[in-house]
Structures are given as structure tokens and as C-alpha cells.
Structure 1
């Protein structure tokens, strides 16, 4: 069993708290007090942001159980940076909205520095997965 140090748990909690405070300060008020209907895409994005924010609140209390939330945040932002922002920058077609989003996404570069990598590998790579079908009792095995 890979143990995670108390220091690393506090780093994770600080990361979740950074997300909770940042979203709560800069994004949540605009979502809660918006005027008029949202376009479909903006509505989806805003609902996902609120869900992420709520899960980050849980992460402050349960930092290890909520690690997939941090991984998801890191991965989607890196995919966006590589698939959208980098080609726009290379071709010289990056607009102001994309530039602003690059800054927001680049903040996710902090995440790999707080993740407990040995724990992640032990629990998400080396650990046996859940069964794909029901387990049959072997002949002669006692039923519990």
C-alpha cells in the first residue's frame, strides 16, 4: 500500500482550495447572475464548471478520492492547449479570446506538481481493475 504524506495531502487540499476560491471569485458570480439565455455551448460549459467547482469542494475534504477530478482538469486543458491553442499560435491566427483561454488553461500546469504520482500509479495503473462479469464460485468452494 502506497502511503501519501500529510504534506502531500495538504498540497492537494491547497490545490482544491485554489480552484474553489478562484472559481467562486471569478466564474461563479457570472454564472449565477447572468442575463438572458445562454447559447447551447456556453450553457454546457458553465454547467460543467459548476459541477467541477462542487467536486473540488469535496476534494478539500477527500483529496485522494477526488484525484480523478484533478486528472480530468489537467488532461482536458492540456489537450485543448495542444490541439487548439498551439496550432492557432503556430499559424498566427490566435485571437484575444483564445489568448485569454491559454492563460486560464496554463494554470493547470501546477497540477502535476501536487499529484502523488506513486499513489496514482499504484491505484490506477498497477492495481487490478474491477471485474467485467460476475465471479462464479469454484466447484467445492464454500458459499458465503
Structure 2
């Protein structure tokens, strides 16, 4: 069993708090005071941001259980920076909206510094995965004891 230090747990909580506070200051006012319908993609983005914000709140209490949320945030932002932001910057075609998004995505570069990498490797790469099918007469039930 890999133990995560209390210091690392507080670092994770600080990251979740950073996300919750940042989204609270920048996303919620635009959602609460918006008038009229959103365009399709803006509506999708806003709904996903609210879902992410909500899951980050759970991360304050359960920082290790909500690690996949931080990993998702890190991965999608790095993909965007490499696939969209970097080519636009190198090509000299970075408009104001792309610059603003690149700046916002760059904050995800902090995430790898707070992640408990040993814990992630043990629990997500080394640990056996859940079964794909029941063996024999064994039935998998929700809430069953874990061995």
C-alpha cells in the first residue's frame, strides 16, 4: 500500500481550491448573469466547466479519489496547447481569444507538481484492473467487500 503524505494531500487540496476559486470568480458570473441562449459549443463548454467545478469541490474532501479529474484537466489542456496553441503561436496567427485560452490552459502546467506520482503508478498502472466478466458462479455486487 502506497501512503501519500499529509503535505501532498494538502498540495492536492490547494490545487482543487485554486480551481474552485478560479472558476468561481471567472465562470460563474458569466453563467449567472448571461441573458439569452448560448451558441451550441458555448453551452457545452459552460456545462462541462460547471461539472468540472463541482467535481473539484469533491476533491477538497477526497483528493485522492478525485485524481482522475485532475488528470483529465491536465491532459485535455496539454493536448489543446500542443495541437492548437503551439501551432498558432509558431505560425504567428494567435489572435486575442487564442492567447486568452492559451494563458488559461497554461495553469494546468502546475498539476504535475502536486500529483502523487508513485500513488498514481501503483493504483492506475500496476494494480490489477477490475474484471471484465464474472468467473464461474461468482456475481459482482455493488457494495461487496473488496479483497
TM tier relative to shorter chain = over 0.9
User: Gaps (5+ residues) in structure 1?
Assistant: 139-144
CA-to-aligned-CA distance 1:110-141 (integer Å, 9 cap, x gap): 00000000000000000000111111159xxx
Aligned to 1:77, the other structure's residue is in SS state helix
Matches of 2:57 and 2:135, distance apart in 1: 36
Matches of 2:135 and 2:29, distance apart in 1: 49
The residue that corresponds to 2:111 in the other structure is 111
Which structure has the larger Rg?
Answer: 1
Aligned to 1:37, the other structure's residue is in SS state coil
CA-to-aligned-CA distance 1:58-96 (integer Å, 9 cap, x gap): 000000000000000000000000000111111111111
State the number of aligned residues: 138
After TM superposition, what 4+ stretches of structure 1 lie above 2 angstroms from structure 2?
Answer: none
Aligned to 1:106, the other structure's residue is in SS state helix
Matches of 1:85 and 1:74, distance apart in 2: 15
User: Gaps (5+ residues) in structure 2?
Assistant: 139-147
Matches of 2:49 and 2:137, distance apart in 1: 45
TM-score with structure 2 setting the length: 0.92
Aligned to 2:27, the other structure's residue is in SS state helix
TM-score with structure 1 setting the length: 0.93
Q: How does 1:82-101 map to 2 (within 5 A)?
A: 82-101=82-101
Matches of 1:122 and 1:36, distance apart in 2: 48
The residue that corresponds to 2:13 in the other structure is 13
Give the CA RMSD over aligned residues.
1.0
Matches of 1:137 and 1:47, distance apart in 2: 42
The residue that corresponds to 1:75 in the other structure is 75
